[in-house]
Amino acid sequence: MIKIGVDANGGDLGVLATVGGAMRAVSMYKDIEIVLYGDENKIKPLLTNDERISIVHTDVTMDMGEHDPVRAVRTMRNSSLDMVMYAAKNKEVDAVVTSGPTQCVIMAAHLIIRRLPCMERVALCPIIPNMDGNPRLLLDVGANVELRPEHIGQFAVFASVAAKEVLGIKDPTVGLLNIGSEPGKGREQEKITYDYLNTVKSINFKGNVEPDQLINCPTNIVVTDGFTGNIAIKTLEGTAKGMGQMLKQDIKSSIGGKIGYLFMRKNLKRFSKRMNSKEVGGAMIFGVGAPVVKAHGNSDAYAFSSAIKQVYNMVKSDLINKVIAALPKEEVNTNE
């Protein structure tokens, strides 16, 4: 039985999303058990199916607008986020799902569960849609503003194992996000990282990937520093949202547009589903000793169940132990 810990209080919708998501998840998988860390008084009225679902009560919630994540994680030990992270650290649950504040989630995973001995940094890795229908991994998208080449190399190894074990990609390829596809492009940091990634034997490095290729990506994985990655993912999300709004405006602006919509309705729904973050679930936290998925803050029950599915697959594939085996130990500086 796989036991998933859920930060039930977290996110914009709180228990409305997490409880519904938990019930949907247990109906999907017979070998899953969910522990909800949250306000029992709010959870119980919503829990119409408590099969393989239990509650650990706390009415303390990590604020979505928290400005000092390190202080919050260290002082709010009775918050639902801290409690579920400690449960993972103590092996009371196999994995964690939360839609709490991103930086607090990253800090809690880092400070409580702790990094793997073979990882020097923690990365935030979302799954992004692609034109060929097969998802891509992009990391780091915000956990680290600056990274050394060896850190990005470790992320590439972790992501390669995840792509193989969780996404089912036989021989995942890796690209470095850069301003040009040719070797020698970019800042000195990118040039050094490019050369370094060519030396990592456990990844299939294919060179640079330009930003305009992300939605039609030539590689399964794209690695970069957290600052660049955060700009890239927010640009993708903003563009997708804006294009959807523009399309709706054009459809509503004329009779021809409304008639055309009737013929294109099924195609547009399929397109919307491919671009919908609810289908993916959330971003994986790479580098810590237990599987953690950060669901979107505005996740509803469906989206949250997708995040539970995502972390379930991480546990099922024994991802953490396979990453430990894949990382070259001689490249790790454990004294930092």
Catalogue all structural domains in the chain, each as residue range(s) with its CATH number.
1-119+287-336 (3.40.718.10)
Surface-to-core class of residue 237, CB atoms within 10 Å of its CB (0-12 exposed, 13-18 middle, 19+ buried) = middle
Give the closest residue to 28 by CA, choosing from 7, 5, 49: 49
- What pLDDT is recorded for position 242? 79
Write the pLDDT tens digit of every residue in 188-229: 999 999 999 999 988 999 999 999 999 889 999 999 999 999
Q: How many CA atoms lie within 13 A of 138 on its CB side?
A: 31
Mean pLDDT for 298-320 is: 93
Range from 73-87, 98-112, 131-145, 293-307 carrying the lowest mean pLDDT: 131-145
Surface-to-core class of residue 285, CB atoms within 10 Å of its CB (0-12 exposed, 13-18 middle, 19+ buried) = buried
Surface-to-core class of residue 1, CB atoms within 10 Å of its CB (0-12 exposed, 13-18 middle, 19+ buried) = exposed
Range from 24-38, 235-249, 283-297 carrying the lowest mean pLDDT: 235-249
- What pLDDT is recorded for position 131? 79
Residue that the structure tokens 């070259």 belong to: 328
How far apart are alpha carbons 166 and 33 in whole angstroms? 20
Starting at the edge strand that comes first in sequence, how are the strands of the sheet with 292-295 ordered?
A: 53-57, 32-38, 2-7, 95-98, 292-295, 282-286, 123-128, 136-139, 221-223, 173-177, 204-209
Write the pLDDT tens digit of every residue in 116-154: 988 899 999 998 888 787 889 999 998 898 899 999 999
Q: Is the pLDDT of residue 159 over 70?
A: yes
- What pLDDT is recorded for position 275? 55
3-state secondary structure of 202: coil
How far apart are alpha carbons 221 and 140 in whole angstroms? 11
CB 98 within 8 Å of CB 28: no
Between 197 and 280, the higher pLDDT residue:
197
- What pLDDT is recorded for position 21? 95
Write the pLDDT tens digit of every residue in 37-90: 999 999 999 999 889 999 999 999 998 888 899 999 999 999 999 999 999 999
Q: Is the pLDDT of residue 281 over 90?
A: no
Mean pLDDT for 9-29 is: 94
> How many CB atoms sit inside 10 A of residue 30's CB?
9
Q: Helices 149-165 and 319-326, interaxial angle, to 10°?
A: 130
- What pLDDT is recorded for position 246? 74
Between 262 and 238, the higher pLDDT residue:
238
Give the single-character DSSP code of 79.
Answer: B
Per-residue confidence at 167, pLDDT binned at 50, 70, 90? confident
